[in-house]
Amino acid sequence: MNLNKQIKQFYQKHLPGGKIEGHLLKAPCPFCPREEKRKPGVIAVYLNPDSFLMGYFRCSNRCLAGGFHIYFGRLRRIAPQDIPGCDPDRDPFVRDMVYPSKNLNTEIIRFKNIMNADIYAHFARFGVSKPVLNEMNIGFNRRYLVYPYFLENRNCYAARCVLPKRETDAFWHGDEKFFTEEFRIFNVQEIERCEGGALFITDGEDNMLLLRELGYPGIAVPHATDFEALHAERLAFINHIIMITNNTPEAQMSARSLAVRLGFKTRIVKWPYHYKRGYHLRQLAIDKGGKHRAAVASLIKSSKSYSPFTAPHKEHSHFREMLDRDMGKEFRGMVTGFEKFDIANGGIRGINIMGGQPKSGKSCIFMQIATEVARKKTPVIYYDFENGRQKIYTRTICRVSRLSETEIRAIDLGKNKKDKLRHTLAELKDILVYFRVVTDRKLTPETMRKHIDFIQHETRQDAVLVVLDSLQKIPFKNLSERRTGIDSWLRNMEAIRDEQNAAFLVISELTRSLEGRYDERPDIGSFKGSGDIEYSADNAMIFMPHWNAFNPITTEERQSTLWMVASRENSPGKIADYRLDYPYWGFSEL
């Protein structure tokens, strides 16, 4: 039985006498106080399995804040193992602090009692009613609106005071220890109530009040910059997160940064192009004259799961533009005047750093393996710190089409070769759905984990191949800690391999001998910069050229041998010989 059916049966069992009307289960509210003069409210549970709000309940009397089925089970004191989707052994988020005995609770009640008709009219202008304001304990100190920031322990230690109609005139009131970004979550208790369900996140308390009025559970931060303080572990048990920010590039950027940390469960509402910069939910409600419910629902429905990857069609389009731009040019970069250098490099372009590492073809063969795996619809993330995505795509086109890089830039190519190029470009577009190149120089293990989550979710595949080019250029904090930084990355790769069903192809540099040469005899001790490779690697291989790797225009046949030098399961020794089909950048196994 799927989870949605379990949730439906759970509510039907614990709300006896309830009746289903469409997608709503309605029953007398079991939480309303039993008073002779007042009938209990009606509790309504939303049971549309296609909605984010599946399992969300609210009382018509607002006797308590609504929530999802896990919160309902806690309120009814139902054993965790009897609540669908509830893990009784999970570790809840807790703050490592002692709360002060002094709080603002009494002041908040006093400010709430000062609310007057003008203030209620101010909120009614954008569709927020008096019951919602009372429920959220909004107050007034005779000049400023008071938004109380209650914490998980149900006490308020800080409140944000905002001048009506002038949001820039604002200040914090209360214990200054609770003014910091860590505590700037308006309606933070909603997080617990939304476990196992959906949560809306927005910037600005008024936007959250409007969502509350429309029946959506949510939290808010004062400004989009405060998204940075929201920790992923705090929202770990929320299944769906929908972010609605003000229509500014800065707010969208902050939302995307948070979405990367939270993972693929996050959706970001994108404002249509005709809405002006700075537009927000409150302004939408004012402009629609109270008929904004459908407009907000439409925005939410059009939201898509956030992805840190460039859309495949955009990636393909950008590559085609780059290809068209280079057509007809003898070299894509600047001519140096050194003929052999220009032939080998296509001129000076990008950042050119000369090192001592031999051009044995490791990157080239990894590009070939990676694109062939993606061709079979297994997702691949290629972390490149060496070549650049344009070279990866170009060499893939050359290998698949059997056209040289010069030919694919030529204006007069000939019909057969044009058809071959057109077919290969179409094939590349399909490959890019499963093949993502990342050149982020600030890559962290946490970001890598999220990237793997995203691509597995987007491709609906469980396995993923991760390619790293190269181990010595992978980012870490301090250059003086290169050895420990590499070893730390290897430890993280082991964990990711085991936890996320990821396989790794990792390029590593080799160590030179005292004479400045590279050893002719392959050995596990030849790897550079880490003593942990022999302990972390499932298979350790060395790719050795039988041609002069330092002469880019050598006339020798470019043949190399792949050696297994260490393995957990396989015997060391020669794997195979490989020949590079230059200038098509493809290896063939002999």
pLDDT category at 356 given cuts 50, 70, 90 is: very low
How far is residue 296's CA from residue 487's CA, in Å, rounded to a whole number? 49
Mean pLDDT value across residues 404-415: 89
pLDDT digit string, tens, across residues 3-41: 999 999 999 999 988 999 999 999 999 999 877 677 889
Is residue 348 scored above 70 in pLDDT? no
Query: What is the reported pLDDT for 353?
Result: 37
Query: What is the reported pLDDT for 427?
Result: 96
The half-sphere exposure of 258 on its side-chain side, counting CA atoms within 13 A, is: 30
Mean pLDDT value across residues 267-280: 93
3-state secondary structure of 511: coil
Which residues fall within 8 angstroms of residue 308, CB to CB, at 6 or more apart? 256, 259, 260, 450, 451, 454
Query: What is the reported pLDDT for 539?
Result: 82
The helix or strand, by DSSP H or E, that contains position 256, with its residue range, turns out to be helix 249-262
Query: What is the reported pLDDT for 347?
Result: 62
Q: Which residue has the higher pLDDT, 314 or 520?
A: 314
pLDDT digit string, tens, across residues 415-433: 999 999 999 999 999 999 9
3 to 7, 19, 83, 454: CA distances (angstroms): 6, 21, 11, 23
Mean pLDDT value across residues 240-254: 95
**154-163, 288-297, 383-392, 543-552 — which one is most confidently predicted on average?**
154-163
Query: What is the reported pLDDT for 553?
Result: 58
CA 145 to chain centre: 36
516 to 358, 511, 512: CA distances (angstroms): 12, 9, 5
84 to 1, 360, 373, 533: CA distances (angstroms): 11, 56, 38, 44
Tokens of 192: 């617990």
How far is residue 306's CA from residue 462's CA, in Å, rounded to a whole number? 19
Of 7-16, 217-226, 349-358, 426-435, the poorest mean pLDDT is in: 349-358
The residue ranges of DSSP E strands in 299-427, in sequence order, are 304-305, 380-384
Number of C-beta neighbours around residue 517 at 10 A:
9
Burial of 24 (0-12, 13-18, 19+ CB in 10 A): middle
Mean pLDDT value across residues 41-58: 95
Q: For tokens 């914490």, what's the residue?
A: 151
Query: What spatial distance separates the first Cα and last Cα of the chain, rounded to whole Å?
Result: 53
Q: For tokens 């009131």, what's the residue?
A: 173
Mean pLDDT value across residues 441-462: 93
The residue ranges of DSSP E strands in 65-187, in sequence order, are 139-140, 145-150, 156-163, 166-174
pLDDT digit string, tens, across residues 174-197: 999 999 999 999 999 999 999 999
Mean pLDDT value across residues 62-90: 93
3-state secondary structure of 6: helix
Q: What is the mean pLDDT of the chain?
A: 88
For the chain, domains (ranges, CATH) are: 3-82 (3.90.580.10), 105-305 (3.40.1360.10), 312-589 (3.40.50.300)
Percent above pLDDT 90 for the chain = 59
CB 386 within 8 A of CB 470: yes
**206-220, 342-356, 549-563 — which one is most confidently predicted on average?**
206-220
Length of the chain: 590
Per-residue burial over 527-546, b = 16 or more CB atoms within 10 Å of its CB, e = otherwise: bbbbebbeebbeebbbbbbe
Query: What is the reported pLDDT for 298?
Result: 93
How far is residue 363's CA from residue 549's CA, in Å, rounded to a whole number? 13
Mean pLDDT value across residues 479-503: 83
pLDDT category at 355 given cuts 50, 70, 90 is: very low
Looking only at the bridges linking them, the beta strands covering 435-438 and 304-305 are unpaired
3-state secondary structure of 128: coil
Per-residue burial over 197-232, b = 16 or more CB atoms within 10 Å of its CB, e = otherwise: bbbbbbbbbbbbbbbbbbebbbbbbbbbebbeebee
Helix-then-strand count for the chain, H and E: 19, 21
Which residues fall within 8 angstroms of residue 162, CB to CB, at 6 or more apart? 144, 145, 147, 169, 170, 205
CB 430 within 8 A of CB 347: no
Query: What is the reported pLDDT for 279?
Result: 94
